[in-house]
Structure 1
Amino acid sequence: MKSKAKSTVVFFLCIILIGFLAYTGAYGVTFGGYKLKPFSQVINKGLDLQGGVSVLEEIQSKNVDQDTVNRTVDMISQRVNKLGVSETTTVREGKDRIRIDIPGKFDAKEVVDGVAKTGDLKFVGPDNKTILTGKDVKNATASIDPQNGSQGVINLELNQSGAQKFADATQKFMGQKITIYLDKDKLSDPQVDAHITDGRAIISGHMTMKEAQTKANLIKSGALPVTVKPVQVKTVGASLGANALPLSILAGKIGIGLVMIFMLLYYRLPGLVADIALVLYVYIVLAAFANVNVTLTLAGIAAFLLTVGMAVDANILIFERTKEELKSGKSIRASVDAGFRRAMTSILDSNITTIISGCVLYNIGTGSVKGFALTLIIGTILSMFTAITVTRTLMKLLANMGWFNHKETIGTFGVHDFRKGVVK
């Protein structure tokens, strides 16, 4: 009786905890001054779900080594993240192409102009001679002009060699302009008002804070190691992305709901256990997406729903193995243990092969294929955890509570005649 009471308390505590987690994931919750946001607000959404700009850049140089390409990807990624947007993706496609996806940004020209700048960063004097290059710049930040609170300024910091060159130039060109170029485009042409010897300068000149921030980021990022050219620019409208997201969520709800109804009708109480474990599985997967900064796309949603089916499939293997053990005359608890043990090999084999396939897709795939593969790998690993740990724990608790002793609760899972020790 003590064991039954303890199992009952533990079981309902598990249900309450899982229900609370599901509620917080769906709607969020606030504790005093601390707020847990729902997954809809914390999971990054891809270009196809919220609209935005996709730019495909092609490296124009021939026979570029892999390290140079990777460095170019990193520098473009740095520029992308400094545009004032988030949830961006910068990945290599093929040997000489780089894909830049920026959700929530719809000005393609601004993206191309602000991110894909190539060539040399130069500070040029009035005599058309180069004073500084990007290698001489240590840092560049934007701030509000203390003398005019409505305008922005650029705070420039040079390294040791750059500071000496700049000191000579500011002394030589006092009262004249030094022009800053990125490629052949002029970023700024501030006038020299002081002899600067410490390598720290303030660039002003009727800029908004946003303009100052953009220019500071471009100055800091410097020049790309190779020349790249946009070969494809695609804009996904906000309305198209806005329609895709709710339709994807609806499809997910219908798919998961149908799976849960089937499990409940066919397996009854064990099916209910599988549904509870599935709710926890969905929460854990979405929490993992939020914590590892996965960018969810339509392909990712497809992979997620695929792993839901795999999670349920693991439970079906366990239940069918358990049914076979019941038919051999074993008790419920012994059958549950044996069912899990016998199903483990099949579960591990199927999931490990899926993970291997996901790893191959992730390493050789590009764009949405990588997102699909990453979602598939995460979902598959976590589905094994819920099937092996959560389902087994709940099944054993219900067995201790005596809930499997009635025909109505077992359904097609197997009807056990405890007087004869066989399943009818």
Structure 2
Amino acid sequence: MAAPKKGRRAPAGHGHPGRTLVLILVVMIGLVGGMFWYGHLTPRLGIDLAGGTSFTLAAQNQPGKPNAINETNMNTAAGIMERRVNGLGVSETEVQTQGNDHIIVNIPKGTDAKQARQQVGTTAQLGFRPVLTIAPGTKTPVPNPSKGQQGKNDQGKGDKAGGKQGSQQKVTSPSKPSASPTTQGRPVTDALKKAPSAKPTPSGSAKPSPKPSPTPPGPGAGIAKQLAALDCSTKQGRALAGQQAANAKPSDQVVACNQEGTQKYVLGPVAVEGMDVKDAKAAFDSQGGQGWIVQMDFTSDGGKKFADITGKLAAKAPPQNQFAIVLDGAVVSDPRVDQQLNGGSATISGGGFTQQSSEDLANMLSYGALPLSFHIDDETTVTAALGGEQLHAGLLAGAIGLGLVVLYLIAYYRGLSLVALASLTVSAILTYTIMTLLGPAIGFALNLPAVCGAIVAIGITADSFIVYFERIRDEIREGRTLRPAVERGWPRARRTILVSDFVSFLAAAVLFIVTVGKVKGFAFTLGLTTLLDVVVVFLFTKPLMTLLARRKFFANGHPWSGLDPKRLGAKPPLRRRRTAPTQTKEA
């Protein structure tokens, strides 16, 4: 008895093309809905298209460093400013040196110019100073430094006046948590009420030395008078205090204000310099329930200094168990210390951080250490008239090129041109919506080079369709019908498309890494559209061709389908030769 015939398997690649098309349709609807949800319906434009603000920063030497203004430090400053205001490098804020002691910063319209100005203007030296006294930001009577209770009262007033991060933050070790209970993870108010004992407890945390090295003395009468006279509630008072603190020697005691002007401080000598911070980043602590935190890593020398100062501060009562992070003479954070922190890393938490505030503090810690200070020498407004004319000319050239491509596709591929045009439309929708959403997400700004990158991508996308169409036509020339031709031509076309797009993406990635300024916009757009080309070909063009191969217009090779076997010079249909079964002769 003959064995039953097994059912033939569907050719690889058939799958469920309808589901794939529905998937990419849902993605497009989601991206368009995201545009309306966030209220951004057009891409953010660069300074050459939308105008903006341009200002010039003049470098100044720090006291005791008369030769700090040199090419190396200027390039370092420009690089730090560019990383601060540019994020991923696509927000199109341009930072470049000019001459020996100036830096030009161009901020496009739509960027928070005030925030960017503050970021590039706060690139002086960063330092960690121990807190000696905290008081409300307004003028106060001269405090008596001999009374420790006065510091506690000032601390309480400062907490009420501050209301923000300030003394609510604490610094802990992320690598080796203490074996003894800590206030980490408790509500902020509870953490502030309980001060660590002056006597070290036998716990898993490192204990300060029984005979600590000499620590900075408390504030003297002269510095106490300066503190009482300082008014941080006014902009002039904060600016004066910041200038005096920035120009002070690292070994001096200083008075300083926090950025909001709600608290003022007497700070001891610099214990850890900003140069000792190797890296800092913001992170969300989902396991510990502390929300946004800032993680710091120190150099080897910086880790030793940090362990030494935290060991001394942990044995003190508030507010002298805190250290202030000072940038440009202003206190940007003042976390408290509960234990000595070893290991060269630490975490600042418990200050009601938001994502923005934690990222800002991490930026200052990472990029705030410079041997130079800057002041704004000139500020001007840039118009977009010239860029608008160039954009108009570029879009006109792109429209003409696209029109020629469409005419060629219709003349040569006929019905298949509809598939190519539909794929180009899907690619355009994805590109436009993603560029629009990247504006508020990462600060992406569309400039003239980026527009050029999008126009070049039209050719890359059309080339992928042509490769696939030609593979299908080759199979038809070999005598196969359309449905097998669509499936057999896909693996060969897929390899060619992936190799071609990989080379384009690699070129865009290298260009993005090694270039600066507006060229990054071109490289970013080229890389983005290259990735989208792969998505469109795999999730739209191929499934659409699979569905169209089942339609009579294409399957029967209509003359206007672009797949007419006669017009393509196809061979006779391939047929399997049947061989007569051989019978074994009996002997």
CA deviation vs aligned residue, 1:199-246 (integer Å, no higher than 9, x gap): 89xx9xxxxxxxxxxxxx99x969651326689988530444555556
Which residue does 2:109 correspond to in 1?
Answer: 104
What does 1:6-155 align with in structure 2 at a 5 Å threshold? 14=21, 18=25, 35-36=36-37, 40-41=41-42, 43-54=43-54, 61-62=69-70, 64=72, 69=76, 73-74=79-80, 78=84, 87=91, 89=93, 100-104=105-109, 114=118, 116-117=120-121, 135-136=128-129
Q: Is the aligned partner of 1:271 residue 2:271?
A: no
Which residue does 1:128 correspond to in 2?
Answer: none
Q: Secondary structure at the match of 2:229?
A: coil
Q: Is the 8 A contact 2:92 2:518 kept in 1?
A: no
- 1:303 Cα shift? 0.8
CA deviation vs aligned residue, 1:348-396 (integer Å, no higher than 9, x gap): 3322222222222122111112221121112112212322442111111
Q: CA RMSD in A?
A: 5.5
Amino acid at match of 2:50: Q
Taking a change above 3 Å as real, the CA distance of residues 379 and 39 of structure 1, as seen in their structure-2 partners, is farther
Taking a change above 3 Å as real, the CA distance of residues 172 and 76 of structure 1, as seen in their structure-2 partners, is farther
Query: Which of 427, 439, 450 matches 1:281?
Result: 427
What does 1:153-232 align with in structure 2 at a 5 Å threshold? 157=166, 171-173=224-226, 176-177=229-230, 179-182=240-243, 225-227=370-372
What does 1:260-409 align with in structure 2 at a 5 Å threshold? 260-289=406-435, 290-291=437-438, 293=442, 294-404=444-554, 405-409=556-560
**Distance in 2, Cα, partners of 1:244 & 1:165:** 64
Query: Which of 552, 558, 562 matches 1:411?
Result: 562
Q: Is the 8 A contact 2:45 2:109 kept in 1?
A: no
**Distance in 2, Cα, partners of 1:181 & 1:328:** 81
Amino acid at match of 1:225: L
**Distance in 1, Cα, partners of 2:219 & 2:399:** 62
CA deviation vs aligned residue, 1:286-330 (integer Å, no higher than 9, x gap): 344334633221101111111111110111121122212111111
Query: Which of 405, 409, 419 matches 1:259?
Result: 405
Select the structure that is richer in helix: 1
Amino acid at match of 1:327: R
Q: Is the 8 A contact 2:478 2:570 kept in 1?
A: no
What does 1:228-239 align with in structure 2 at a 5 Å threshold? 236-239=382-385
Q: Is the 8 A contact 1:51 1:104 kept in 2?
A: yes
**Distance in 2, Cα, partners of 1:49 & 1:406:** 49
Specify every segment of 5 or more residues in structure 1 that has no aligned partner in the other structure, as ranges.
122-132, 139-144, 146-152, 204-216
Taking a change above 3 Å as real, the CA distance of residues 156 and 36 of structure 1, as seen in their structure-2 partners, is closer
Q: Secondary structure at the match of 1:359?
A: helix
- 1:336 Cα shift? 1.7
Taking a change above 3 Å as real, the CA distance of residues 238 and 372 of structure 1, as seen in their structure-2 partners, is closer
Q: Is the 8 A contact 2:91 2:445 kept in 1?
A: yes
Q: Is the 8 A contact 1:24 1:37 kept in 2?
A: no
Specify every segment of 5 or more residues in structure 2 that has no aligned partner in the other structure, as ranges.
1-9, 60-67, 132-137, 139-161, 171-216, 232-239, 248-255, 267-317, 324-329, 331-359, 575-587
Amino acid at match of 2:552: G
Q: Is the 8 A contact 1:53 1:107 kept in 2?
A: no
Taking a change above 3 Å as real, the CA distance of residues 318 and 224 of structure 1, as seen in their structure-2 partners, is same
Q: Is the 8 A contact 2:82 2:93 kept in 1?
A: no
Taking a change above 3 Å as real, the CA distance of residues 409 and 228 of structure 1, as seen in their structure-2 partners, is farther
Taking a change above 3 Å as real, the CA distance of residues 242 and 384 of structure 1, as seen in their structure-2 partners, is same
Q: TM-score, normalised by structure 1?
A: 0.62
Amino acid at match of 2:36: K
Taking a change above 3 Å as real, the CA distance of residues 111 and 194 of structure 1, as seen in their structure-2 partners, is closer
**Distance in 2, Cα, partners of 1:288 & 1:265:** 32
**Distance in 1, Cα, partners of 2:532 & 2:262:** 61
What is the aligned length? 360
Q: Secondary structure at the match of 1:341?
A: helix
Taking a change above 3 Å as real, the CA distance of residues 270 and 16 of structure 1, as seen in their structure-2 partners, is farther
**Distance in 2, Cα, partners of 1:192 & 1:323:** 75
Which residue does 1:129 correspond to in 2?
Answer: none
**Distance in 1, Cα, partners of 2:547 & 2:452:** 34
Which residue does 1:148 correspond to in 2?
Answer: none
Q: Secondary structure at the match of 2:534?
A: helix
**Distance in 2, Cα, partners of 1:359 & 1:246:** 28
| % identical equivalent positions | 22
Amino acid at match of 1:104: K
| Structure with larger Rg | 2
Which residue does 1:211 correspond to in 2?
Answer: none
Q: Is the 8 A contact 1:118 1:226 kept in 2?
A: no
Q: Is the 8 A contact 2:51 2:381 kept in 1?
A: yes
Q: Is the 8 A contact 1:116 1:228 kept in 2?
A: no
Taking a change above 3 Å as real, the CA distance of residues 107 and 386 of structure 1, as seen in their structure-2 partners, is closer
**Distance in 2, Cα, partners of 1:167 & 1:154:** 28
Q: TM-score, normalised by structure 2?
A: 0.47
- 1:251 Cα shift? 5.0
**Distance in 2, Cα, partners of 1:283 & 1:169:** 67
Q: Is the 8 A contact 1:177 1:192 kept in 2?
A: no
Q: Secondary structure at the match of 1:102?
A: strand
